[in-house]
A and B are shown apart, each in its own frame.
Chain A
Amino acid sequence: MVSTLELTDVSFTRQRRGAQPLAVLDRISLKLEPGETLALVGPNGCGKSTLLELACGLLTPTSGTVQAPPIALMPQRGLLMPWANAVDNAALALRAEGVSRTAARERARDWLVRLGMSEFEDARPHELSGGMRQRLALARTLLAGRPIVALDEPFAALDAISRIEAARWLTSALGESDRSVLLVTHDVEEAAVLADRVVVLSPRPATLVAQVRLAGSVPRLRTSPEVLAAREAILSALGVSG
């Protein structure tokens, strides 16, 4: 099994009924280092989510190759199951692999405790706050036990204060699990706070326009010189001045 994600010259064109085919991605090459958190930033609609689906093997590229171990996906809206409580929602990742209900629940409870959600074990998604729901979705994604997790705008639905808190629990949960992360976001600052490397995509059809490496431990302070400099570099690559 391949140990890490590698995209080589990947292009993707979406076929549409009754309309011109839409070129979404144009010859993108990318390699995820083991243990690395790689953020993908780009304007809305540039194909970031498509890139994730290709990486997860849920789509096949029009040309180019994708080599990847199994990747667990956390989509934008978290997508919990409204009929199941927190434990069973988290346990889905294990039950999908055929783990028994009891064993899956046990391991799911462990993760809920680690993410500070132990009192919400029996709560259904509609009884949880937006931040809690995303935390639960993350617990589920990490439980899948895949070497890479793909997070698609994990905090898009959260307010500014919850986002800062979310950055904290996300990094602490990821830090314990020693996994590579593919993080899609349109929030440049968030990318600079959380990632080891930021890849900047152009508007559709997306090409890779810049890479920014950041040093130090995460989450970084939003006001640190490192983050400000990275933000500057990313924004200028996107063609906007901060």
Chain B
Amino acid sequence: MIRGLLVIAALLGLWELYCVLSGVDQLVLPSPTDVGHALWTDRGILWSALLVTAGELLLGLSVALVVAIAAAIGIHLSRSLRNSVYPVLVASQTVPIPVIASLLVVWLGYDTGPKVVIVALVAFFPVVVGILDGLAGIDPELDLVARSFGAPRLRRFRLVEAPAALPGALTGLRIAVVISVIGAVFAEQAGGDSGLGFVIQQALPQLLTARAYAAVVVLSALALAAFLLLTAVQTRLLPWTRLRQSEQ
């Protein structure tokens, strides 16, 4: 943790140094001091924008989690679903978000709807893959044991397979949190009047570059905080996964 802060401090120092020595226009590249200043003076704007974006992320991630769990269970339990639905899921991830973001705004309107859909769309895939990986990684002999004890298919799923898939689900969710932040920004820029993406989009043409950078800093902090929170949840609720990592 301390080492991480040191690396960030060193990078900021280099950046500051470059701005001072090269004389680059602060409209093109504001120095960390300028960004820090903007963080303070624009704190009201940034705070209310943060609340909007965080709300979209929370809703979008919740939707993604519910859909991902349902999809993963379906794909895991049914071979025909695996063959038919899985390729569609993979293909859905290749659609560029900026393209569908504008279309969704036209379709669903300017409010929260399209943002939640886009965040969910981005977040859903790593969660599905994480869960399916967890399910596929179960020792086949453990399944044999449960069968020899007479557990029917669904009960085997509930008792043995679902808990085994939890670490994978959480790993997928940690990836999803980070990348869905980008989805939220695209969604807000495609049409909307609030959120950190909107702040960035408004600041640049107004030549408030430092404010745009400040919004990016807030965005990164949000993603980092969510990531660390999920990591803490994992070590707390699933302590055996931490052990396995440290053994490797």
> What is the interface of chain A, defined by CB distance below 8 A to chain B?
53, 56, 58, 70-77, 79, 81-84, 92-93, 95-98, 124-126, 144, 150
Contact = CB atoms under 8 A, between A and B. Distances in A.
B73 to A, nearest CB: 18
A77 B141 contact: yes
Contact of B148 (A71, A76, A83, A125): A71
A150 B147 CA distance: 13
A93 B149 contact: yes
B106 interface: no
A75 B139 CA distance: 11
Interface in B135-166: 139, 141-142, 144-151, 155-156, 159-160, 163-164, 166
Given A75-B141, A96-B155, A126-B240, A81 B160 contact: yes
A235 B145 CA distance: 32
A83 B144 contact: no
B170 to A, nearest CB: 12
15 contacts: A58-B147, A58-B148, A74-B145, A75-B141, A79-B141, A81-B163, A83-B238, A92-B149, A92-B159, A96-B149, A124-B239, A124-B240, A126-B240, A144-B148, A144-B150
Interface of B: 139, 141-142, 144-151, 155-156, 159-160, 163-164, 166, 238-240, 243-244
A84 to B, nearest CB: 7
A73 B144 contact: yes
Contacts of B142: 79, 81
Contacts of B150: 70, 96-97, 144
Nearest to A72: B148
A83 B149 contact: no
Contacts of A71: 148
Contact of B144 (A53, A84, A125): A53
B244 to A, nearest CB: 8
B146 A92 contact: yes
Nearest to A58: B144
Contacts of A96: 146, 149-151, 155-156, 159
Given A97-B151, A144-B150, 19 more contacts: A56-B148, A70-B150, A73-B145, A73-B148, A75-B145, A79-B139, A79-B145, A82-B244, A92-B159, A93-B149, A95-B151, A96-B146, A96-B149, A96-B159, A97-B150, A98-B155, A124-B240, A125-B240, A126-B243
B152 to A, nearest CB: 9
B243 A97 contact: no
A interface majority secondary structure: loop
Nearest to B247: A126
B234 to A, nearest CB: 12
Most buried by A among B144, B148, B151, B163: B148
Nearest to A137: B145
A93 B150 CA distance: 8
A84 B164 CA distance: 10
Contact of B149 (A53, A75, A144): A144
Contacts of B147: 58
A124 B240 CA distance: 8
A42 B150 CA distance: 29
A144 B151 CA distance: 11
Nearest to A80: B142
Contacts of A92: 145-146, 149, 159-160
B246 to A, nearest CB: 11
Contacts of B144: 53, 56, 58, 73, 75
A75 B151 CA distance: 16
A58 B144 CA distance: 7
Contacts of A74: 145
A84 B166 CA distance: 13
A177 to B, nearest CB: 16
Nearest to B238: A83
B222 to A, nearest CB: 30
A81 B144 CA distance: 13
A97 B152 CA distance: 8
In the A-B complex, the 6 residue pairs with the smallest Cβ-Cβ separation, listed nearest first, are A96-B151, A96-B149, A73-B148, A82-B240, A75-B141, A79-B142
Nearest to B237: A83
Nearest to A126: B243
Contacts of A95: 151, 155, 159
A72 B238 CA distance: 29
A97 B149 CA distance: 7
